[in-house]
Structure 1
Amino acid sequence: MSKIVMTFADKGDFAALYAAERWCADNGYSVGSGCAGMPRGLLRGEWVIAKWRNLTGQERADLDGQMTGDFRNGPVTVTVKE
């Protein structure tokens, strides 16, 4: 299975995070709730996604992707399944 990997390195507090969230919204992905030091889950479509720590192993496996990185200072990486 191939993946799309996008890296956002916008400068400023949370700028890379906001850019990554915009990309996700523009491309039809919902973004999970933030949980310090952990990824944020991504699902195609409109979903409410729990914090990473509250997702089961199966729920994590069922995600369409994840957002990782330094959410405050960047860079932030979005990885989604094609």
Structure 2
Amino acid sequence: MSTFKKTFTGEAPFQALHACSDWLEERGYSRGSTCALYPTGVLNGEWDIAKWKNLTKQEIAALDGQITGNTREGPVTLHLKKPPVDHSE
């Protein structure tokens, strides 16, 4: 499934998700809205991504990756189809 996986943790609520979001943004990715019990979609570039339950099968297939895990308490794991392009340098 994914060729790249990275896990984020945190001490406070949503800290792991915010760390993951910051990491993605630094590399030119967008993340979708969170949705209880579902993954969160990830796309390279600036996108407004709907909640997972509102995405079509075609839209899910077109995603560059997804975030799974407990978005409130952590940890969360980022799964990407291919290694990220680092735009932070």
Give the TM bin, normalised by the shorter chain.
over 0.9
Return the TM-score normalized by structure 2. 0.86
Q: Which amino acid aligns with 1:32?
A: G
* Greater strand fraction, Structure 1 or Structure 2: 1
Structure 1 unmatched runs, 5+: none
Separation in 1, partners of 2:43, 2:55? 13
Query: Could you tell me which residue of structure 1 aligns to residue 37 of structure 2?
Result: 37
**Post-superposition shift, 1:33?**
1.1
Equivalence map 1:42-53=2 (5 Å): 42-53=42-53
Query: Could you tell me which residue of structure 2 aligns to residue 18 of structure 1?
Result: 18
Return the TM-score normalized by structure 1. 0.93
CA RMSD of aligned residues (A): 1.2
Alignment of 1:63 onto 2:63 = yes
Structure 2 unmatched runs, 5+: 83-89
Query: Could you tell me which residue of structure 1 aligns to residue 78 of structure 2?
Result: 78
Paired residues, what number?
A: 82
